[in-house]
Amino acid sequence: MTITFRSYAKINLTLDVLGRRADGYHEVRTILQSIALHDHITLERIDGGIEVICPDRSIPTDERNIVYRAAALVRERADIAAGVRIHISKRIPVGAGLGGGSSNAAVTLLGLERIWNLSWSPEEWLDLGATLGADVPFFFYGGAALGVGRGSEVYPLPDIRLDHLLIVWPMISVSTAEVYAALDGRWLTKSPPRSNITVSCETAWRAWGYPHRLLGQAIQAGAGGNDLTEVVGARYPEVNRAMERLRQFRTRCIRMSGSGSAVYAVFATDEDLQEAAEALSGEPWRIIQTRTIGRAEYWETLIEKKGTQGAVAPRQR
């Protein structure tokens, strides 16, 4: 049995860091949104063991890879002899704050559920994902979502449609752990939590109406922010330079995604986006044109099964 997944990337539309928790992690409020940029992950059931294959030699294929760890964790908990061969085709930059590793892990878990015929509850899969990484549970939902706690407590929101996104990756891989370790009081959100745009999403999630429309307008107008931007920019000046270059164009919003190093700009028109993309083509960066994808499209296109016609409908969570 072989299954191929699209492993979609994400951007953080806002990211507030409220402080360090008693468990050593940081309390965050973030809005995440899936985008069309994706890797491909193919899982094949084999007789035993775990094999990870990736043509990109910079990607480890042993226990250092989150996909390998996901498979090992499931195999141990399920206590099964069957194995899996996982092929990774990377397009999402590594260490860019676009959730590539977390997305790869999430779709690997979805695939293992099928090829190993597991019948665990959605809650069990979510908990398992959260042990692998704070962003992993988001990829069980797709679309737009509010992330709270470490970011692993996820509440779906109505989709936020952004058709003209330009991502700039300065070809730098950033360690999320190192960024959070460098945080101090200077970088944290100072406003009372209930005034933050990300926390106000709880109201939008319940109402699914007028507050959400205001939220979408606010994001496109550049409201909100990312509390990690300054600390990342201080350590990696090329991130600041990428954001400065983007400010030279007709953008509606410029932001760093997650803990970086990728930054993105929202444009009102494709013409404005193409002008910026062409002007930036001479920079030593990777330039990616993409868009957001809603939850329905996310699930409709997530899984394809080799040897059959059409998509395999995933079980909604």
Residues designated catalytic: 10, 135
DSSP lists the bridge partners of residue 27 as: 19
Which residues neighbour 166 within 8 Å (Cβ) at sequence distance 6 or greater?
A: 246, 264, 265, 267, 273, 276, 277, 280, 287, 288, 289, 290
Kindly write down the DSSP assignment for every residue of 252-270, as one continuous string: SEEEE-TTSS-EEEE-SSH
Report the distance separating Cα 38 and Cα 126, nearest Å.
21
Nearest Cα to Cα of residue 110 among 94, 97, 126, 88: 126
Q: Is the dihedral of CA 302, 306, 309, 314 positive or negative?
A: negative
SS3 218: helix
DSSP lists the bridge partners of residue 53 as: 87
Relative to beta strand 253-256, strand 286-290 is unpaired
Q: Which amino acid makes up residue 108?
A: T
